[in-house]
Amino acid sequence: MTRAFLRESEPPHFSIVLMGMGEPLANYDNVMKAVRFFHDDHGLKLPMSRITISTAGLIPAMRRLAAEPLFPNLCISLTGVTDETRDRLMPINRKYPIREIMDVVRDLPPQRQKRVMFECVMIKGVTDSAEDARELSRLLAGMNVKVNLIPLNPADEIPFERADDDTILRFHKILLDSGIATFIRKNRGNDVCGACGQLKKKISLGFEQTTPAAPKRNGIF
C-alpha cells in the first residue's frame, strides 16, 4: 500500500510490525530507512505508535535506536526471565544478558518506555512459575513498560508444552498486582498448524514432510 491509495483526509487504519523474517535490528540501516518511509508525510504517513520493531535483544542496536529522533514501538522477546533459562532458550542471552537489556530500557525517557513491550513465552514447567512472575516484576520495577504473555503453540518438533490457562492467569495476576500492564496473547491458527512457531517444515530420515495442510487464503498458508 502507498499513500496514493489513501485519501488525504483519511488516517491510516493499519499497523506494521517488523518481525518474523530474521532479527530486524541486525539489518538496522535498512529497517530504519523503512520506518522513516512508513512515517513520512510523503510515505504512508503512519504514526510511530503504529510501527513496531521486534528484537531478540541486540544491545548495540537498541542503544542506537534509543538515540534516534524517531522512536517506534519496541517489542523485546524476553521469553525466559532469568539468565539461566534464557541462555538455554535464546543463546543470544549469553552475549547480551537480561541485565543489559533492562539497562537500555531503564535509560529511556518515560515517554519512550511507554513504547516498550516485553514478550514472555508461557512454557509449562520452564517459564511459567510464580517465582518467574515475581522475578519479572522485580526486573521491571519502576519502568513504564508493558508485558505480553504468549502461550506456547505446540508442535511436534518442540520439546516443550504449553502452560495451562490457570497457571498463565496466575502469572498475569502477579504482574498486574505489581502495577505492570500485562496482556495475554490470543492464539490463532493452531488448528491448521499456522500459529507462531508452527510455520516450519519437518525433515525426517532425509525425506521432507510437512505439517497438516492448511487452507490457502489469498495464496498464503
- Per residue in 135-151, pLDDT (tens digit) is 999 999 999 999 999 99
Taking only the tens place, the pLDDT of each residue in 65-109 is 999 999 999 999 999 999 999 999 999 999 999 999 999 999 999
**How far is Cα 90 from Cα 174, in angstroms, rounded to an integer?**
24
CATH number listed for the domain at residues 3-195: 3.20.20.70
Q: Taking CA 128 as the corner, what is the angle to CA 26 and CA 138, rounded to the nearest 5 degrees?
A: 75
Would you tell me the crossing angle of helices 165-177 and 130-140 to the nearest 10 degrees? 30
Amino acid at 126: V
pLDDT, position 153: 84
Q: pTM above 0.75?
A: yes
Cite the residue boundaries of each domain of the chain with CATH code 3.20.20.70.
3-195
Q: Which of 32, 67, 39 is nearest to 53 (CA)?
A: 32
- Residue that is written with C-alpha cell 502477579 in the block: 174
- Taking 60 as the threshold, does the pLDDT of residue 3 lie above it? no
Q: Which of 15, 97, 36, 29 is nearest to 64 (CA)?
A: 29
Taking only the tens place, the pLDDT of each residue in 162-207 is 999 999 999 999 999 999 999 998 876 565 555 565 555 444 444 4
With cut-offs at 50, 70 and 90, classify the pLDDT of residue 158: confident
Name the CA radius of gyration of the chain, rounded.
19
